[in-house]
């Protein structure tokens, strides 16, 4: 056990079953997916049972809870609706996130086949597949999401830095200063009880 020739010899070897228990992330090419499958109709039942209370029967979202479907073609509008169908670039993320972190409050309780079925249902809710569509570890990597090409790597260094570098204006920088917006008018700030600070 003194094999750590280059280090301090701290820690111990991770066992395969320990790595399998914790390393569940799925990459865009499907690496990390377990074997399994599920179709949209089965997914509808699982979704109704475990997801719809927050996300709605049709994945449309209830109240302030996230919408998982809809919003197609809204990304360049005033209030874009960002859902799995309208925004998410990779299907792997949907599988991975549901598998590890949903349902909210009861995470890591789903079997792989249930996750495949739920993901298939979410695709169906987004009009991306028919209701007889079956998703499996075998056809997973071939599925392309509508907004897959909708992302660019951070380009601030090229698009912003050159504009905002150098000695800034110090005097006579503008002629007029007029108030164009006031938070007081919107009045959505939590109110602190007057005198709270001074209460004896």
Partner 1 sequence: MTNRTSRRSFLAKGLATGAAATVAGSANSATSDPLITEVQPWAQGLGDGVDATPYGLPIEYEADVIRRNVDWLTADTISSVNFTPIHALDGTITPQGCAFERHHSGAIELRKEDYRLMINGLVDRPLVFTYADLERFPRQNHVYFCECAANSGMEWAGAQLNGAQFTHGMIHNMEYTGVSLRTILEEAGLGAAGDLAGKWVYVEGADASSNGRSIPMEKALDDVLVAFKANGEALRKEHGYPVRLVVPGWEGNMWIKWIRRIEVMDGPVESREETSKYTDTLADGISRKWTWAMDAKSVVTSPSPQSPITHGKGPLVITGLAWSGRGAITRVDVSRDGGKTWETARLAKPGERMAVSRFYLDTDWDGEEMFLQSRAMDETGYVQPTKTQLRDVRGLNSIYHNNGIQTWWVRPDGKAENVEVS
Sites for partner 1 among residues 134-193 (CB under 8 A): 150-156, 159-161, 163-166, 168-184, 186, 188-190, 192
Min dist. Cβ of residue 188 to partner 1 (A) = 6
Distance CA 87, CA 68 (A): 10
- The distance of closest approach from Cβ of residue 147 to partner 1 in the complex, given in angstroms and rounded to an integer, is 8
Whole-number Å distance between alpha carbons of 116 and 99: 9
Tokens 């039942």 sit on residue? 45
In the complex, what is the shortest distance from the CB of residue 44 to partner 1, in angstroms, rounded to a whole number? 22
Total of residues contacting partner 1 (CB under 8 A): 85
Given the complex with partner 1, which of 142 and 163 has the nearer CB atom? Answer: 163
Kindly tell me which of 87 and 121 has the beta carbon lying closer to partner 1: 87
| Contact predicate 123/40, CB 8 Å | yes
Site string for partner 1, 49-78 (x = CB under 8 A): -----x--------xxxx--------xx-x
Alpha-carbon distance of 47 to 166, in angstroms, equals 55
Near partner 1 in 5-44, by CB under 8 A: 6-8, 10-14, 18-19, 22-23, 25-28
**Comparison of 42 and 67: residue with beta carbon closer to partner 1:** 67
**DSSP helix/strand/coil, 136:** strand
Minimum CB distance to partner 1 smaller for 1 or for 36: 1
- How far is 58 from 125, CA to CA, in rounded Å? 6
Min separation Cβ 192 and partner 1, Å: 7
Instruction: Indicate the residue among 142 and 170 with the shorter CB distance to partner 1.
Output: 170
Q: Return the structure tokens found at 178.
A: 């007029």
Give me the least distance between CB of 81 and partner 1, in Å please.
Answer: 11
Residues 84-143 that bind partner 1 (CB under 8 A): 84, 87-90, 92-93, 96-97, 100-101, 104-105, 107-108
Q: Find out whether 55 and 61 touch, Cβ atoms under 8 Å.
A: yes
- Distances, alpha carbon 177 to alpha carbons 171, 173, 180, in Å: 14, 11, 9
The dihedral formed by the CA atoms of 33, 37, 41 and 44, expressed in degrees to the nearest 10: -40
């Amino acid at each position: 056990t003194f094999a750590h020739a280059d280090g301090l010899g701290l820690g111990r070897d991770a066992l395969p079953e320990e790595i399998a228990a914790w390393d569940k992330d799925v990459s865009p090419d499907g690496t990390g997916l377990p074997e399994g499958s599920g179709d949209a109709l089965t997914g509808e039942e699982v979704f109704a049972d475990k997801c719809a209370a927050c996300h709605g029967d049709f994945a449309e979202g209830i109240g302030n809870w996230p919408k998982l479907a809809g919003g197609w073609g809204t990304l360049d509008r005033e209030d874009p609706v960002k859902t799995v169908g309208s925004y998410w670039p990779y299907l792997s993320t949907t599988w991975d996130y549901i598998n590890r972190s949903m349902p909210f409050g009861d995470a890591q309780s789903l079997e792989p086949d249930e996750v495949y079925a739920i993901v298939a249902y979410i695709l169906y809710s987004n009009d991306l597949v028919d209701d007889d569509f079956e998703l499996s570890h075998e056809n997973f990597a071939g599925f392309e999401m509508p907004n897959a090409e909708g992302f660019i790597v951070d380009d601030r260094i090229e698009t912003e830095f050159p504009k905002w570098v150098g000695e800034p204006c110090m005097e006579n920088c503008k002629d007029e200063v007029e108030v164009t917006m006031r938070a007081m008018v919107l009045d959505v700030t939590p109110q602190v009880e007057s005198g709270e600070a001074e209460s004896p």
